[in-house]
Amino acid sequence: MRTVFWEDNKVKMIDQRLLPGEFVIAEFGAVHEVARSIRDMAVRGAPAIGATGAYGMALAAQQSQATTRDDLLADLRRAKATLDAARPTAVNLSWATTRLLALAEATPSREVTDIAHALLTEAEALADEDVAINRRMGFNGAAVIPDGAHILHHCNTGALATVDFGTALGVVFACQEQGKKIHVWVDETRPRLQGARLTAWELMRAEIPMHLIADNAAGHLMRTGQVDVVIFGADRVAANGDAANKIGTYKLAVVAKENGIPVYCVAPTSTVDMELAHGDLIPIEERGAEEVRQVGDELIAPADTPVYNPAFDVTPHRYLTGIVTEEGVCYPPFTESLRRAKVAAEARIETARQARQP
Ligand code: MRU
């Protein structure tokens, strides 16, 4: 089962807001609905958002009333703006919509239906690539995880955060496939509890030994020698290796360094934004006050308590031992190693696209 997929001319996805209580496939047949599914986090996790954006562009092409190529391209540019605005930090979203728009612009046919068909084929290819990339990345990452390791993990980076398999949790799944004995400390990840709701659900289904911990327990575990390695994903990695990920990641990395524990960020090259020189340039999404004032539907603070709710933080690259990508593990200096990985990945995408040409 994929987290997001195309069926019956609709974008379908596991509604992650309802897990672990209910497993429901939500479906969306209009671009503004797809954008809302991203904003409201029915789908979340940077690569899953990217694939959803790609399917959103395919949907826009299918639904366009345009009869000329120029009018279709104008509709697609509007759809891209709507989708990109849904969540600002995960660069995979605009990376995917840019890729689909560029393909439409480069399609030689002037027939609207040919362009729409090409976009759906590209969105499907992007989703398939995501799964293949995650498996490669998982096995690249497994090489740096010792047998018997106690792994500290933040947020949800599993199959649910991608089309399938996952990023940092993909490393955990790869370790399991290799027969390594591992144990995962699962940060609950306030305020939206992606660790408690989603990572715990995925690891228990996979029968991987784990314990859920309150976020505040992580420092204690690291200082008392109960963590061998810290791993997490990213929503955007700047050219110098600074990594934006779920709020709370930064302090994990700082405490890990203080305690001599290796820290790996696991992110596909689509998450690497070479346009941004450093992490202070990464836009940080702020979300609604209710996420902090409430747990689920239950109010845990006075109703009108003022709240500040940044959804991501930036971990400066000096705290990272390595960045695991589908092209291998990048080590400092990251500006150089990430650039090489990005070039290799782009060449791979181009080769695959040429192989798909009739
Ligand atoms: O707000 P979310 O749940 O979309 O945040 C997700 C994360 O922070 C993940 O760690 C990140 O997207 C990378 S993993 C696939």
Residue-level pLDDT, tens digit, the chain, 358 residues: 899 999 999 999 999 999 999 999 999 999 999 999 999 999 999 999 999 999 999 999 999 999 999 999 999 999 999 999 999 999 999 999 999 999 999 998 889 999 999 999 999 999 999 999 999 999 999 999 999 999 999 999 999 999 999 999 999 999 999 999 999 999 999 999 999 999 999 999 999 999 999 999 999 999 999 999 999 999 999 999 999 999 999 999 999 999 999 999 999 999 999 999 999 999 999 999 999 999 989 999 999 999 999 999 999 999 999 999 999 999 999 999 999 999 999 999 889 888 877 7
Residue 276 shares a structural domain with residue 338: yes
* Residue 235 among the catalytic residues: yes
Residue 21 shares a structural domain with residue 165: no
115 CA from centroid of ligand 1 (Å): 32
Instruction: Quote the CA–CA distance of 30 and 79 in Å, as a whole number.
Output: 10
Q: Is 88 in the pocket of ligand 1 (CB under 6 A)?
A: no
| Residue 352 placed within a domain | no
Say which of 15, 164, 235, 242 is annotated catalytic: 235
Pocket test for ligand 1, best of 89, 152, 194, 271 (most atoms within 8 A of CB): 194
229-232 and 150-153: which strand pairing? Answer: parallel
46 CA from centroid of ligand 1 (Å): 6
The length of the chain in residues reads 358
Q: What is the CATH number of the domain that holds 79?
A: 1.20.120.420
Amino acid at 9: N
- Token output for 282: 């990464």
Burial of 17-33, coded b for 16+ CB within 10 Å and e otherwise, reads bebeeeeeebebeebeb
Task: Answer for the pair 248, 215: CB distance below 8 angstroms, yes or no.
Answer: yes
246 CA from centroid of ligand 1 (Å): 6
Instruction: Quote the CA–CA distance of 142 and 263 in Å, as a whole number.
Output: 13
Asked if the bond preceding 191 is cis, omega within 30° of 0, the reply is yes
In 10 A of CB 349, how many CB atoms? 16
Q: Is 194 in the pocket of ligand 1 (CB under 6 A)?
A: yes
Residue 323 shares a structural domain with residue 210: yes
- Token output for 29: 């047949």
Residue 356 is predicted with a pLDDT of 77
Range of the structural domain that residue 141 is part of: 137-347
Query: Which of 87, 107, 135 is the endpoint of a domain?
Result: 135
Asked if the bond preceding 306 is cis, omega within 30° of 0, the reply is no
Residue 104 shares a structural domain with residue 202: no
Residue 14 DSSP symbol: E
Residue 151 shares a structural domain with residue 243: yes
Residue 110 is predicted with a pLDDT of 87
Q: Is 176 in the pocket of ligand 1 (CB under 6 A)?
A: no
Query: Which of 116, 135, 154 is the endpoint of a domain?
Result: 135
Q: Is 44 in the pocket of ligand 1 (CB under 6 A)?
A: yes
Query: What does pTM read for this prediction?
Result: 0.96
Using DSSP, state whether 237 is helix, strand or coil: strand
How many folded domains does the chain comprise?
Answer: 2
Residue 120 shares a structural domain with residue 212: no
Q: What is the CATH number of the domain that holds 246?
A: 3.40.50.10470
- Token output for 245: 């990920």
The beta strand positions in the chain, using DSSP E, are 4-7, 10-14, 25-28, 150-153, 183-187, 210-213, 229-232, 236-238, 243-246, 263-266, 272-273, 294-295, 298-299, 312-315, 322-325, 328-330
| Residue 355 placed within a domain | no
Residue 254 shares a structural domain with residue 279: yes
